[in-house]
Structure 1
Amino acid sequence: MAISPGIAGQAVGLFAVTNVDDIMILALFFAQGAGRRHTTRTIMIGQYLGFAGILAVAVAAAFGATFLPEQAIRYLGLLPLALGIRAAIQAWRHRGADDDAAGEASGGPRILEVAAVTFANGGDNIGVYVPVFATAGLGGMTVYVVVFLVLVAVWAAAGRFFATRPLIARALSRWGHVLLPVVLIGIGLLILVRGG
């Protein structure tokens, strides 16, 4: 089966549309880890682990081995909800501390936290990817997967770019400890309410 020349462009478009909200989450993670060693590596590994999980489920489902029933997708919202509540408790405990002390208390993002948020936030993408992958054939699916994996790095770079712009960096530095829990809790509730 021949691969359509426009399939890479379609893959870019599909990735952008289904992951636009991820840039804000990545920027918050980069802001949380600002000034710490290995922040970029931690976020990249976590982002790739989470997105690889999404792709693995979508590819398996496209081949007919549905590992994740549609009804179960809503429960992925429990991951960012729990992480958001945990981040909110940490922010509350350190509310009187200065920004540097509060930042030290958070310890920056962890690989499995980033992976869990990425997977949970992208869980609804599985429902979009499966029919696209199933109709694209093996060659087309391979193009989608390769393009998506390249774009994960582009997305992480965009998140880092936004987190390091002076105006945005100041806002995230001042309010990131509040925004991160709010965003994670919001995403978790949205996934739970929206369902599969």
Structure 2
Amino acid sequence: MTELAAAAGIFAGTNVDDLLVLTVLFLAAARSGRPRPWQIWAGQYAGIALLVAISGAAALGLTLLPDRWVGLLGLVPLALGLRGLVSAFRDRGADPPAVATGLVSVTAVTVANGADNIAVYTPVFRTAGIGGSLVTIAVFAVLTALWCAAAGWLGGHRRVVEVIGRWGHWLVPLVFVAIGLTILAGLL
């Protein structure tokens, strides 16, 4: 049960910003017909699958690293989170999300927007083992569907997009800091 909760927390924390991007894509789909909703869903799944595959490959490469040092990988999401907080403080606003018009561009936006997820997923897959990694991937698959469904629903509510846009740039770095500290706590 803890693996399920941890995987859900990791997915939610690393994809809060993606929810905003998906919501904007569904808004665009409703207004212009592009991208089509199926392209958003398929592109999101393809992008998440690529991020997971890259993270899994990196985690396999880290099997050469002694277990006692793996927890130091928590410094990566911690640093990303701190950098994000500094940036959010300086900019006082979020960058506008990229807009895509088809399956390939939705996939590209998902990968580009989630490239920092690799820094979080890699140590998770490295420490979770095969069984834990499979549970994590299954949770990610289910939550990707939930994210798409939620974004489709939110896309009909402009005010929700404004709220996510206002606070998302603070929330994402805070979650990264928490994930980094959790990974580092495994060293203790």
Normalised to the residue count of structure 1, the TM-score between the two structures is 0.60
Q: 1:146 matched to which residue of 2?
A: 138
Q: 2:172 matched to which residue of 1?
A: none
SS of corresponding position for 1:14: helix
How much is the aligned-residue C-alpha RMSD, in angstroms?
A: 2.8
Alpha carbons of structure 1 residues 52 and 28: separation in structure 2 relative to 1, 3 Å: same
1:12 to 8, 11, 21: 8
Deviations, residues 61-116 of structure 1 (Å, cap 9, x unaligned): 111179xxx9xxxxxxxxxx9x95xx6xxxxxxxxxxxxxxxxxxxx721111100
Task: Tell me the percent identity.
Answer: 41
2:114 to 114, 122, 125: 122
The structural deviation recorded for 1:39 is 2.0
Deviations, residues 9-58 of structure 1 (Å, cap 9, x unaligned): 10000100111011110011011111638822110001011111100100
Q: 1:40 matched to which residue of 2?
A: 37
Paired residues, number: 131
Alpha carbons of structure 1 residues 152 and 167: separation in structure 2 relative to 1, 3 Å: same
Q: Which amino acid aligns with 2:15?
A: N
Q: Does 1:27 align with 2:23?
A: yes
The structural deviation recorded for 1:140 is 0.3
User: Structure 2 CA distance, aligned partners of 1:168 and 1:60?
Assistant: 36
Q: 2:60 matched to which residue of 1?
A: 63
User: Structure 2 CA distance, aligned partners of 1:157 and 1:64?
Assistant: 35
Q: 1:111 matched to which residue of 2?
A: 103
Normalised to the residue count of structure 2, the TM-score between the two structures is 0.62
Deviations, residues 120-164 of structure 1 (Å, cap 9, x unaligned): 111111011111111100000000011001111111111111111
User: Structure 2 CA distance, aligned partners of 1:38 and 1:53?
Assistant: 20
The structural deviation recorded for 1:165 is 2.7
SS of corresponding position for 1:164: coil
Larger radius of gyration: 1
Q: Which amino acid aligns with 2:47?
A: G
Given that 2:35 and 2:101 are in contact with CA atoms closer than 8 Å, whether structure 1 keeps it comes out as no
**Gapped regions of structure 2 (runs ≥ 5):** 64-75, 77-94, 166-188
**Gapped regions of structure 1 (runs ≥ 5):** 71-80, 88-107, 172-178, 180-196
Given that 1:43 and 1:109 are in contact with CA atoms closer than 8 Å, whether structure 2 keeps it comes out as no
Alpha carbons of structure 1 residues 43 and 64: separation in structure 2 relative to 1, 3 Å: same
Q: 1:74 matched to which residue of 2?
A: none
User: Structure 1 CA distance, aligned partners of 2:144 and 2:13?
Assistant: 13
SS of corresponding position for 1:109: coil
